Amino acid sequence: MAVTRFAPSPTGYLHIGGLRTSLYSYLWARKTGGEFRLRIEDTDLARNSEEAMKAIINAFDWVGLNYDGEVFYQSQRTDIYKQYIDKLLENGNAYKCYMSKEELDALRAAQEAAKQNPRYDGTWRPEEGKILPQIPEGVEPVIRIKAPTTGTIEFEDGVKGFMKFDANQVDDFVIARSNGMPTYNFVVAIDDALMEMTDVIRGDDHLSNTPKQIVVYNALGFKVPKFYHVPMINNPEGKKLSKRDGAMDVMDYKNQGYLPEALLNFLVRLGWSNGDQEIFSMEEMLELFDPSNINKSASAYNAEKLLWLNSEYIKAVSNDRLIKELKFFDLDLSHHPKRTELLDLAKQRAQTLVELKKSITDIIDVPTSYEEAGVKKFVKEDTKEFLEKYLVLLEENKDNLYDALKVEEITKPFINENGLKFPQLFQPIRLALTGGTQAPSVYDIIAILGFNEVSSRLNEALKRNFKNT
């Protein structure tokens, strides 16, 4: 039974890399019958954003990754952290350091000049037989943990395999600032231990933090969890993903018309696979996912793949669900008499809900203008004549125009009898009915609108001679 967590910092929006990490953590917890927790790491008071915090919660609600229990906020747990800082001070595994900022800057500069890795030199580290400097006046100390000075720090990573760090790569890092506020690596280790995390799944940008956190675990006698460090999501060129490439707020995907199931399906495949399978229901993800099978190499963001997946989900979900989703985009089809026909038609071509809305409104909204390029290409001197004749045919059959096949039955002979090619008739009709030339089948549009509306729009276009002024 796995206990996992997602622990974002509310200093900005939740991006897709974070959502992928949370999805992996969620799937593993649910698959094993364990628990998935949400923890907000908000100890950086200067950079925290209430808006970002709400956006993270909203994103989780939208994609449906339900977490167990309450949301943990690190800013509300400072008393707990202080208890463990005091414990480390008491057992000699941490100490007060009075080195000033100027001294630290000078030390760093000297080390860099000597081409050494910058690290704390242990000036205030208590050791047997060592005489510490006199405590300076007016300097509030930081608290540093005693890191091992010899040996190695080792752990088995579920993605990367056996990891080994020389102990001297970890210095006596600060676990509490001079104002008493604990630092990131300290509170993460405390919280993961107290929340009984068994598995920590996170981006491999945290790999360098892991030895420091293991130092905290060992100093307090905590059990070290299993770590899985997931490679980053790169852009198609193999570089860091930018906002332009797709590293935007998760809720921007909602605003752009993506279904949450499609986004989760897309993300689960960015670093994990099950043969050549591309489309996964949540049930299939829960059945098949195992973090041990996460790819060791970085994945590439593919915007076309996401659009394709989204189009497949739009076609697959119920019309009732689409009606509900379209309300977010200010389109309410709840009471439209042709809502089923509209959705069945439009969802075959739409890659996003935004496109779905446009396809529908292109049909149901009376056009106020006509695509000039289309008019120039398809409206000729004889267009008016055969459109008027076609209107007569439609009126004669107006009681049978409820079905696209019926419209087709009367239209094909009309085209042949008048020596027309399909675009000669259909493109002017599309222009008259929708204002453009990219709408779906004319047969379907006529069946949805009915004779009276078709007649009204065709007559208006002919009266204006398809002109916009």
pLDDT of 256-278, one tens digit each? 999 999 999 999 999 999 989 99
Is-contact 271 231, C-beta < 8 A? Answer: yes
130 labelled binding-site residue = no
Write down the pLDDT at residue 109: 92
Question: In the predicted model, is pLDDT for residue 46 greater than 70?
Answer: no
231 in Cβ contact with 296 (< 8 Å): yes
**Nearest alpha-carbon partner for 291 in 65, 18, 26, 7:** 26
Pairing of strands 226-230, 199-203: parallel
Q: Look at residue 245 in the predicted model and tell me its pLDDT.
A: 67
Which class for 39: exposed (0-12), middle (13-18), buried (19 or more C-beta within 10 A)? buried
Helix %, strand %, coil % of the chain (to 5):
50, 10, 40
* Beta-sheet pairing, 3-6 with 152-157: unpaired
* Pair type for strands 299-300 and 233-234: parallel
The β-bridge partners of 3 are 35
Q: With the CA atoms of 324, 326, 328 and 329 taken in that order, what torsion angle do they form, in degrees rounded to the nearest 10? A: -170
Query: pLDDT tier at 302 (50, 70, 90 boundaries)?
Result: very high
* pLDDT above 70 (res 247): no
3-state secondary structure of 185: helix
* Arithmetic mean of pLDDT over the chain: 93
**C-beta of residue 74 within 8 angstroms of C-beta of residue 187:** yes
DSSP run (H or E) holding 200: strand 199-203
In one letter, which amino acid is 186? F
Per-residue pLDDT band for 235 (boundaries 50, 70, 90) equals confident
Q: Lowest-confidence range among 107-121, 196-210, 374-388?
A: 107-121
pLDDT above 70 covers a percentage of the chain that reads 98
Q: How far is the C-alpha of 464 from the C-alpha of 454, rounded, in Å? A: 16
Cβ neighbours of residue 224 closer than 8 Å, sequence gap 6 or more: 155, 214, 217, 218
Q: What is the mean pLDDT of residues 88-107?
A: 93
> Is 243 one of the annotated active-site residues of the chain?
yes
Instruction: Flag whether pLDDT at 218 surpasses 90.
Output: yes
Q: Is 131 left (phi over 0), alpha (psi -120 to 50) or beta?
A: beta
Q: What angle do CA 402, 407, 412 make, to 5 degrees?
A: 175
Which of 87, 223, 243, 389 is catalytic? The answer is 243
CATH code of 77-230, in short, is 3.40.50.620
Asked whether 364 and 458 are in contact (CB, 8 A), the reply is no
What pLDDT is stored for residue 468 in this prediction? 87
Helix axes 404-417, 442-463, angle to 10 degrees: 60
Please tell me the distance from the alpha carbon of residue 426 to that of residue 351, in angstroms, as a whole number.
24
- For the record, the structure tokens of 433 come out as 């009915």
Q: Is the pLDDT of residue 185 over 80?
A: yes
Q: What is the pLDDT of residue 119?
A: 87
Copy the structure tokens of residue 29: 């917890």
CATH 1.10.10.350 in the chain is located at 366-463
For residue range 311-359, what is the model confidence (pLDDT) as tens digits? 999 999 999 999 999 999 999 999 999 999 999 999 999 999 999 999 9
Residue 196: CB atoms within 10 A of its CB come to: 12
Pairing label, strands 94-97, 142-145 = antiparallel
Q: Where in the chain is the domain with CATH 3.40.50.620?
A: 77-230
The rounded distance, in Å, linking the Cα atoms of 159 and 319 is: 41
Architecture of domain 366-463: Orthogonal Bundle (1.10)
Total residue length of the chain:
469
- Convert the pLDDT of each residue in 385-429 to its tens digit: 999 999 999 999 999 898 999 999 999 999 999 999 999 999 999
The pLDDT of residue 264 is 97
Q: Mean pLDDT check: name the lowest of 4-13, 299-308, 358-367, 459-468.
A: 4-13
Amino acid 12: pLDDT? 75
